[in-house]
Amino acid sequence: MATWNSRGLRGSTLEELINRTNDIYREKGLALIQKVPTPITPIKIDKDNRHITLAYFEQKSTVDYIGAIQGIPVCFDAKECTTQTFPLQNVHAHQMQFMEEFEHQGGIAFLLLFYTSENFFYYLTFRQLQKFWSRAENGGRKSFRMEELEQGFEIHPGKGVMVPYLDALQKDLDQRDEDLDQRD
């Protein structure tokens, strides 16, 4: 049984930035993205502060966010990394399966990464994540380095939002169109 404690707050800074970004996108009519709550059952509660200090997850979570951007279904997970190497153990097999099934239904899946030591945001396409995942499954590295990331998917705060991921999403869509054109 998985449990939650203070470690569960590791991504709260990134999630807060994404939540604010999503609020602005919604207000501008650009996107409707919602944070997916992870159902938990509290075990211990600090009665003085009314905070849950220990709980267990009722079920496995899928991704952190789901919604639509200009009519395109999207789902993504937000991950923070304190070094220049991202351990793939931070992505779970059931999340990979969900994102793959989501993509097979015509949606777009991706990760938003925040390298805290570099103050660097990155949009990791599901295609690139699959390559890293396959490499690990085939006995290769169980992580990937910043220098392995595909150029052009960096996210720079601006345009009135902290994590403006729509430009990177557009690049992802453009690459998918190019791949389809090359197959024809």
Indicate the annotated binding residues for Mg(2+): 62, 64, 77, 95
CB distance 35 to 20 below 8 Å = no
How many helices (H) and strands (E) would you count in the chain?
Answer: 4, 11
CB distance 169 to 74 below 8 Å = yes
Task: Specify binding-site residues.
Answer: 62, 64, 77, 95
State the pairing for strand pair 40-46/51-57.
antiparallel
| Cα dihedral 86, 100, 134, 175 sign | negative
